[in-house]
Structure 1
Amino acid sequence: MIDPWIWLGACIFLAYTLEAMTGFGSVVIALSLGALMLPIKDMLPVLVALNVLMSGFLTWKLRGLIDRSLLLSLILPGMLVGTLLGFGLSPWLSDGALKQGFGVLIMWFALRELLRMGQSKPAGHTPLWMTRLQIGAAGISHGLFASGGPLLVYALAATELDKARFRATLVCVWLSLNSVLTLAFLANGSLAPALPHIASYVPLLAVGVLLGERLHHRVPEQHFRIGIYVLLSITGALLAWRA
């Protein structure tokens, strides 16, 4: 049987390649696939710290494309409050409950996106209060699973950001929130035991970022998204069923 941490390394390479290409997805994909063999709470400090390294590099490189007004006035306030709330709730939940809830969340998101893509439906108008509520829910998901990307992308679907600005703004969000989570993991003692794993995965992260940067400019994003959403649907079902 494959070593669980080697399996997680393969998941990290796939997931961080995708995020370098699209601006989100690294933790939700690595966590959902890795959770088939490892506890969520053991993986979170590793994946969050790696995401800080990647999103820091991409934020600096793409800094000219970040929509600072949208980031500071709408996204970060709701996400930060929700993230702190979700992190505070996480010690009260068992790993089985976390896996089941996470499985249902990613399955809902992936199936919804596949249905929308298949019907070629444009995003409808969403009232500002609903968008703020959705962003807060994304923050809670991020505090629990470090995976607020699916809900945040859903909340921002009606914005007029183009592909490049959307990616740049999202990676800045993850840099901000995951830096806070990394400090929280340091404070509660869960970061130190994860450091050897973090160091061993940095080369995979570097290769994944370089590959994702090339794919961002050369490969149709929709083809990758369809494959990833199918993979997430299956993984979410497995997590919900096995939890």
Structure 2
Amino acid sequence: MDLGPLIVFVGFTAIAAYVQTLSGFAFGLVMMGAIALVGLLPLPDAAAMVGMLTLVNATQMLVQGGWREVAGRQLRLILIASLPSLFVGYALLEWLADTRSDLLKIGLGLVIMMSSLQLAIRPAGLAKPSSDASFVGFGFISGLMSGLFATGGPPLVYLLFRQPMPHARIRETLVTAFGTAQAVRLVVVVASGNLPSMSPVALVLAIPVVMLMTYAARRWPPSLSQQTMRKIVFVLLFLSGLSLALPAAMHLAA
């Protein structure tokens, strides 16, 4: 990677790490969307690097005390369902043809956008916690999406940001769930022999940037109300669905 694209990549990494640390998600959304927009890297390479950098961000957040805020019971329910379904999703990825995959991306993208609109319509969230079955069900869907597209965030974001929980608990629970999923998916990718070639220089430079921005966001967070954070989540979730559906629709149209 040349110097110019390398600087741009590191800049995207800094923004993504900062947003992820504040919200609990969106690292992959920011990175993959930006990389796809400007064509910095092949998307398989980008997905692998995003997975590794997400692990760096999640580990640092938890080591800095975030583990104390994790909603342990809800996280266990999510992981019990999401980790097995991640393997199913990855197997589907290997089986699906390009056209079928595009149709599936369009459908999932539309569902995510509709879910984000419901978050916007009901910004106050639920009055009482969702049932265990809800966490298992959304965890299963998240695992499928992680295996298929390496983007398992939207179902869990939609579920957790509607819960009557403090934002810190939602954020740390999401970070732990995503970090675990990325670790498992990387193992699956390596075991299947599909790990793409990556730019080692970009990865080496990006890791300290992720660590620095994670620290900065934890140490000097902006003053945002729960209501404002929900609005930000709505926008990011909507863009997540759009970024999944629009490229697939354009590919089909072509």
Normalised by the length of structure 1, the TM-score is: 0.80
Q: Does residue 109 of structure 1 match 2:112? A: yes
1:228-243 alignment runs, 5 A limit: 228-229=236-237, 231-232=239-240, 235-236=243-244, 238-243=246-251
- Residues 116 and 75 of structure 1, relative CA distance in 2, 3 Å threshold: closer
1:1-243 alignment runs, 5 A limit: 8-36=9-37, 37=39, 38-61=41-64, 62-72=66-76, 74-93=77-96, 98=101, 101-102=104-105, 104-118=107-121, 120=123, 122-123=125-126, 127-191=131-195, 193-194=197-198, 196=200, 197-214=202-219, 216=221, 218-220=223-225, 221-222=229-230, 224-229=232-237, 231-232=239-240, 235-236=243-244, 238-243=246-251
What's the CA shift for 1:223?
Answer: 5.2
**Gaps spanning 5+ residues in structure 2: where?**
none
Greater mean deviation of Cα atoms: 206-215 or 173-182: 206-215
Retained in 2: the 8 A contact 1:20–1:212?
Answer: yes
Q: How far apart in 2 are the matches of 1:12 and 1:105?
A: 26
Retained in 1: the 8 A contact 2:56–2:211?
Answer: no
Q: How far apart in 2 are the matches of 1:151 and 1:160?
A: 17
Number of corresponding residues? 241
Instruction: Name the SS of the counterpart of 2:13 in structure 1.
Output: helix
- Residues 202 and 134 of structure 1, relative CA distance in 2, 3 Å threshold: same
Identity of aligned residues (%): 22
Instruction: Name the SS of the counterpart of 2:198 in structure 1.
Output: helix
Instruction: Name the SS of the counterpart of 1:183 in structure 2.
Output: helix
- Residues 224 and 135 of structure 1, relative CA distance in 2, 3 Å threshold: same
**Gaps spanning 5+ residues in structure 1: where?**
none
